[in-house]
Chains A and B, each alone.
Chain A
Amino acid sequence: MQNQSEQERELACLIVEALNLEDVKAEEIEPEAPLFGEGLGLDSIDALELALAISQKYAVQMKAEDESLKQAFGTLRDLNAFIQARQA
């Protein structure tokens, strides 16, 4: 397993907390494993809740050209990079 950066750990905590992931711990989220589908198993409800939590914490609005969740979220690493780029 690759190491989470400090920013990634913070985001992982937000994911676990916002989505009430009872059987996942923040430090266990693989930085390069998909968050949706067969990875962490998140779905479209999670996408909406997570988008809301991210907009509140980082003041970044999630956007996607269509419903395709993988594009917008990808992995923990992708999502963190996306947020950092938008914040800068």
Chain B
Amino acid sequence: MNTQNPQPQDRETSANKAQQRGPLSSRLATDLILQRRQNPVSMVQFMASVWALSQTLPNRRFVLNLHRNRHEFLRSFCASIMAGQCTLMPPNRQPQTLDDLEAAYPDSYRTGEEDAVLAAPYQTADADQGQKIPQIPWQQRCVIAFTSGSTGNPSATIKTWQTLVAATQANCAAMLEDWTGPANVLATVPAQHMWGLETSVLMPLFANLAISEANPLYPQDIVSALCDMPEPRMLVSSPLHLRTLMSSALPLPKLARIFTATAPLSQSLAVEFEAYYQAPVLDVFGSSESGIIAVRNTAREELWRLSAPFHMQVVEQKTRVSAAHLAGPVMLADKVELVGTHQFRWLARENDQVNVAGKKTSLADLNRRLLAIEGVRDGLIFMPAESSQRLAAVIVAPGLVAADIRQALLRAVDPVFIPRPIVFVAALPRNETGKLPLKAVQAILTARKAKDERQDQ
């Protein structure tokens, strides 16, 4: 007979629930969590520096963590969570976007905008303090991710510590599969993007991984950062970065595993990647709202394998995803066909959603911003049929030039979504109901191209 008189689960009050806590990390004191130019940082060193930093943070509820260096991002992220702060994840880092976010969250501050190193952390770090792993309230709001919604207003998704930890445990199981040993990871995607946050920030706190502080873009930089880490090495990236690195034909160090997400990867390109990188390439599927939900080895598999905690339903052609750790069901902007309960075939993205270089936004949002520019009377931003992956715009705006449009949009729109070309016309080919047939707009672009080619000859 158990004499410890445990409380039955169902008698738990909501007050108790609010007080429940979980650790900031499950790593051991001697584990390596960071790779800094061949100087590995152990968990005990890292935590000592996080404790120190958390004492110095401004007394605010929200933080815009803009650090590009992953070591500084991770340290600030952990310290702000310990201080009870919530990290705001802007959809891009354009000035207007950051200003708008600060206006909406006045009790916030920015860190890492100038890429300053916060202090030389590891000489003065107090090793005793570094042994302690803080307990974070499960219900604490730790991250708010923003995406540009089709209504034009960014939609916010709140992630509690419980959500982030449950998601990370599921991601480790789905992505690392049978890999149990240590590994060193380099990510080419920013930590401020959910894909980067889940893999390069949260996974090292709960799996046996050390993350490189580097945030490389160019092929030569990726190769150098990989070479700076000992084996076994893993790479977190996107199809765009992997394709550029492959085209550079630079000699690569040995890789154990590659993860890619953010944009569709064709089977033929996945096969090419595996041949070039000599490593399994795992394609990862998710959204800012749901986090990572499925994986597949695109070179060999057609169907996506849904990660264990998730359930997927197709309701009136819309895709709904739910999981115990999410605040509620999430509607995806993707059309899918379910195969059994835990696999699906991807069919298409919804029309309003565009993906340029792995970044996603809503055409409705872009067009709302275009029409708000002073001097623009009418116009449309759209994805051309013979798409070079770039958006195009046809605009009625007497007196304005392309540079005016670019400059106005750039205040709040990520540079990859700036249309190219921008074509000015006297009027748009609207039909009698005022609608704008995409074919007619496309024809303007085609005619313009033909004219340019004639002039060039």
Report yes or no: B410 in contact with A38, Cβ–Cβ below 8 A: yes
Report yes or no: B452 in contact with A22, Cβ–Cβ below 8 A: yes
Contact with B along A9-49 (1 / 0, CB 8 A): 00000000000111100000000000011100111110111
Which residue, B221, B406, B407, has most C-beta atoms of chain A within 10 A?
Answer: B221
- Does B421 count as interface, using CB distance less than 8 angstroms? yes
- Does B371 count as interface, using CB distance less than 8 angstroms? no
Residues of B near A22 (CB, < 8 A) are: 420-421, 449, 452
Report yes or no: B357 in contact with A66, Cβ–Cβ below 8 A: no
Residues of B near A48 (CB, < 8 A) are: 217-218, 240-241, 244
Report yes or no: A43 in contact with B416, Cβ–Cβ below 8 A: yes
Report yes or no: A62 in contact with B218, Cβ–Cβ below 8 A: yes
Report yes or no: B115 in contact with A64, Cβ–Cβ below 8 A: no
Report yes or no: B68 in contact with A51, Cβ–Cβ below 8 A: no
Residues of A near B421 (CB, < 8 A) are: 22-23
- Does B295 count as interface, using CB distance less than 8 angstroms? no
Report yes or no: B357 in contact with A44, Cβ–Cβ below 8 A: yes
CB distance from A54 to the nearest CB of B (A): 10
The 9 A-B residue pairs with the shortest CB-CB distance in the complex, in nearest-first order = A43-B415, A61-B220, A22-B421, A62-B218, A45-B357, A48-B244, A41-B406, A66-B68, A43-B416
Residues of B near A21 (CB, < 8 A) are: 420
Residues of A near B221 (CB, < 8 A) are: 63-64
Partner of B190, one of A20, A43, A67: A67
Report yes or no: B218 in contact with A23, Cβ–Cβ below 8 A: no
Residues of B near A72 (CB, < 8 A) are: 218
Report yes or no: B218 in contact with A64, Cβ–Cβ below 8 A: yes
Number of interface residues of A (CB under 8 A): 27
Given A43-B415, A61-B219, A63-B218, check contact A68 B410 (CB 8 Å).
Answer: no
In the complex, what distance in Å separates the CA atom of A55 from the CA atom of B240?
17
- In the complex, the chain A residue whose C-beta lies closest to that of B418 is A41
Interface positions, chain A 51-88, Cβ under 8 Å from B, are 51-52, 55, 61-64, 66-69, 72
Report yes or no: A37 in contact with B220, Cβ–Cβ below 8 A: no
Report yes or no: A66 in contact with B218, Cβ–Cβ below 8 A: no
In the complex, what distance in Å separates the CA atom of A69 from the CA atom of B217?
9
- In the complex, the chain A residue whose C-beta lies closest to that of B389 is A45
- In the complex, the chain A residue whose C-beta lies closest to that of B223 is A61
CB distance from B172 to the nearest CB of A (A): 27
